[in-house]
Chains A and B, each alone.
Chain A
């Protein structure tokens, strides 16, 4: 058994998580460093994306074109030796273009399922808000249940399975905003942002991104990723932290600037992502830092701000920040 395999197997066999979490952190750092070779100056975004991957969640990247959204997805898939697919959402894109279709085979006199691009480990749903609501909703089942049902037959997607959807927040003409139900299915929403000056200079001076992507060596296999996912979800969470997560999420439900607060799915997602962040930091336990660091990307996109607050320029991230500044951390309660 390789060391990578031990990460997953060890937890299952009851081996001390303390000893294995260091290995997890090493692997995480190697993965992040590999992705950062092409997505430069965005270490924090890369780490969030990897946390999403290892939490088995989905990532919504909301940013203008040309900041590296697709590159991020391709680099991740190349790093984990995973199969990736890209779906360019357009108004005329049909659900079957995503999930696949059943075609009658005259030779066998039976319908055969031809899998669509969704059957990949990493799926880049580019400009997802340009797809029609019907097409967008085709993603609902597969994102949550990790399977596609065509003509009554379920077809599971491979694991790990990560949807990296992008959307352009500026050019809104001819777009269909994602419904709340679908937004809630994304573990995180991040914004890539422009690279800083140094990073952009390095991009210009470096090799072409496409060439680099083609020559990137994989850092780990799909099985390793699956074991890391399993390992992370078994990390210890102290009782006060459950309480803290619930307090933070519950505080959004009573906030006057919000029309809709975060759901229990948000609590689960926050805890799940926090576990991965803790393991990535080499800890076998979660601390309030993990929760606070992930609260904005995990919760903000699930909130619906009131029109009045929106007019004042407040968004979901502002509200989450305010909530974090008002809910006492378990340290304060315990000391």
Chain B
């Protein structure tokens, strides 16, 4: 009976462990899969591997016991007990359960998780991908991953395996907590795959703790005993309290701010050319025919819609290095600004070509369309070229930087920032283009007197605003030569020219710069804004520490005014940003370039980004070692005692003797190597008292008989008797030696290994 009750608990454990995948897929898709995968194999195992009733001669003769004993191991133990009681036979061999569970698994998967694939004839392929490749696909997908059949197969397989292994362990062994071990495998995979996922597994972990407690309680008197309902009734509240504690203490457990993420070890797909034509190259054409409706935005608030982020310049063209990964809906967060506001938009595509998906920066969640996302920039792209009528909703968090944020900002120094400072010579060039030196001189002149990066960036934007005219008829292009013309002779251009020129000038000053193509404005009707081709905008961005990429506007003021009268005003956020940039630049306008006014605000940034001191790691390491040691010295004797209590009767008696010697070591027995059993008993009598002798003497007789007699009339009873004497001796020794002394000895490194008495 206890075995079957254990199976119920293990099924619950496996199902609950499967729910830990809710951080990967969300709770909804996981519940039915985990439930089915936990229940079916458990029922199957209970039918095949549970104790079978004996028939006729087998039970009478205890023949199964003899056979089982010959087989040895667990089976032998079960058979021995079965033989002695004459009621049960060995279960079916394990291989039968294995074969049947594989067959059952394939059938169950086909009619549940893989039912869609069953209909379209792709079942074998989906099954193979689900078992072999789904984990890789999940690792390269932003969580929550879409609930595709091939992805959910991973949950199905793992929960099934865990439920099967747990049930078989519960049915075939007498170990108490071991049936819970396979479930840990499910947990391990779920935790690894769900590191980056939303939500928390704390309630599920607490439920697991409770269930493990229940399992141990159910099996406390051994699998062949009747369920200890009384113990269970007393222990259940304790297990519930334990689970509650785990739930309450979980958030207090000190963990790394950034836990290990296996996704960092996975090679992301290489950058792809998502579109045949760069959005930057379309800007000129869109401005010349400004009335083409690109998309509509349903939102109460006006936002700048970002389309594409272009961060690599090869001397001629700008392109994207984004490493796009699939996502269910979530987009990972970027740097946290001091202030931000939420923006919810529903966007309907009209005539927007290409694959770039517009959204307010920075999107956090996209629903309604399958998209891929660049985790670094948050840029979105569609898996297929956009089609008119496609609609999706996007929730964004738009950062709002204040003058104070910007005033103390230092430029970023990370790898992305280093790449964003590069000024390549151009394809096939063998020497640097002559324009680079010109650009540098131009930029230095434009930012003369600036003492901080934000000042340089703001002054450069202001300078360009005044330096050139906005003219949509200017010839497109953004190579060195064309920008040289723009800055030299032409001095008129489109946003393409202003933004790309700004980016190159900023790079020549050492500021990490990139450009972004998007849309600013549109025609509002109620809550709907119609964004047209004339609303296209290109702006440069500079990367600062802690702030991330900050947008700058080098366009002349008349660029907005030139738009149609029904255009919505420029975003409030954009205006605030420009004002903040101006304020930050004016705050820091120091007495001269020789002064180092910028150093002071850099300090907190440096302190924040400084590597963690070595002593923190040393302390953590020492604490982990201490905790591990404590756990080991406290656990080792218990495990040793458990090992000594198991096995054939002769080993159990020898184990009882070894345990008794361990007890006597607490009262001064240094070695018993050359002593006989009765000499040890006499030692115990002299140190602990005659009552101890009353247990040691019969224990010595049992040990002698077990080891030196040709046979024993009832070895099982003798083994039980030996352990009773040992346990009572242990209590007497504790009373004699005191708990403190025993604890001191327990904490000694010697307790890690079995004493050689």
Contacts and interface: CB of A to CB of B under 8 A. Distances in A.
B316 interface: no
A334 B674 contact: no
Contacts of A329: 673-676
A287 B757 contact: no
Contact of A335 (B654, B674, B676): B654
A240 interface: yes
A286 B676 CA distance: 12
Contacts of A325: 674
Interface in A162-183: none
Given A331-B703, A332-B757, A335-B658, A236 B674 contact: no
Nearest to A292: B676
Contact of A285 (B658, B709, B757): B709
A289 B677 contact: yes
Contacts of A335: 654, 657-658, 661, 757
Contacts of A292: 676, 679
Given A331-B703, A335-B657, A285 B710 contact: yes
A334 B707 contact: yes
Interface string B702-715: 01110111100000
Given A236-B709, A328-B673, A329-B676, A287 B657 contact: no
Contacts of A330: 707-708
B648 to A, nearest CB: 14
Contacts of B675: 329, 331-332
A248 to B, nearest CB: 10
Contacts of A288: 676-677
Nearest to A241: B708
Contacts of B661: 335
A331 B709 contact: no
Point out which of A286, A287, A335 has the most chain B C-beta atoms below 10 A from its C-beta: A335
Interface string B647-681: 00000001001100100000000001111111100
Interface string A307-335: 00000000000000000111111111011
A288 B680 CA distance: 12
A268 interface: no
B708 A286 contact: yes
Nearest to B656: A335
Contacts of B679: 289, 292
Contacts of B654: 334-335
Given A287-B677, A335-B658, A335-B757, A238 B672 contact: no
Interface in A29-72: none
Nearest to A291: B676
A284 interface: yes
Given A332-B757, A335-B658, A238 B707 contact: yes
A243 B703 CA distance: 18
B676 A331 contact: yes
A327 to B, nearest CB: 6
A94 B676 CA distance: 48
A284 B709 contact: yes
Nearest to B659: A335
A84 to B, nearest CB: 35
Contacts of B705: 285
A238 B757 contact: no
Nearest to A290: B676
A211 to B, nearest CB: 40
A289 B679 CA distance: 8
Interface in B212-252: none
Contacts of B673: 328-329, 332
A288 B658 CA distance: 17
Contacts of A238: 707-710
Nearest to A237: B708
Contacts of A331: 657, 672, 675-677, 703-704, 707
Interface string A240-280: 11000000000000000000000000000000000000000
B708 A285 contact: yes
A291 to B, nearest CB: 9
A326 to B, nearest CB: 6
Contact of B707 (A240, A283, A324, A327): A240
B658 A287 contact: no
Contacts of B677: 287-289, 331
A236 B657 contact: no
Contacts of A240: 707-708
B710 A332 contact: no
B583 to A, nearest CB: 83
Contacts of B676: 287-289, 292, 329, 331
A86 to B, nearest CB: 38
B376 to A, nearest CB: 64
Most buried by B among A238, A324, A329, A330: A329
B661 to A, nearest CB: 8
A324 B674 contact: yes
Nearest to B650: A334
A329 B707 CA distance: 12
Most buried by A among B657, B674, B676, B708: B708
A327 B674 contact: yes
A326 B675 CA distance: 10
Nearest to A286: B708
B641 to A, nearest CB: 14
B704 A287 contact: yes
Contacts of A334: 654, 707
A332 B677 CA distance: 9
Nearest to A288: B676
Nearest to B678: A289
A289 B658 CA distance: 18
Contact of A236 (B658, B678, B703, B710): B710
Nearest to B658: A335
A286 B757 CA distance: 22
Interface string A120-152: 000000000000000000000000000000000
A86 B658 CA distance: 53
Contacts of A284: 709-710
Nearest to B672: A332
Interface string B424-450: 000000000000000000000000000
A289 B757 CA distance: 17
Nearest to A293: B676
A305 B509 CA distance: 101
A332 B704 CA distance: 12
Contacts of B707: 238, 240, 330-331, 334
Contacts of A327: 674
A325 B101 CA distance: 60
A104 B553 CA distance: 150
B697 to A, nearest CB: 12
A241 B710 CA distance: 13
Nearest to A323: B674
A332 to B, nearest CB: 4
A184 B756 CA distance: 37
Contacts of B704: 285, 287, 289, 331
A23 B128 CA distance: 76
A295 B678 CA distance: 16
A330 B757 CA distance: 12
Contacts of B757: 332, 335
Contacts of A287: 676-677, 704, 708
Contacts of B756: 332
**A-B interface, 8 closest residue pairs, ranked by CB to CB distance from nearest:** A332-B673, A238-B708, A285-B709, A287-B704, A328-B673, A288-B676, A236-B710, A289-B676
Given A289-B676, A331-B675, 9 more contacts: A236-B709, A238-B708, A285-B710, A289-B679, A289-B704, A292-B679, A332-B672, A335-B658, A335-B661
Interface of B: 654, 657-658, 661, 672-679, 703-705, 707-710, 756-757
22 contacts: A238-B709, A283-B709, A284-B709, A284-B710, A285-B705, A287-B708, A288-B676, A289-B677, A289-B679, A289-B704, A292-B676, A324-B674, A326-B674, A329-B673, A329-B674, A329-B675, A329-B676, A331-B675, A332-B674, A335-B658, A335-B661, A335-B757
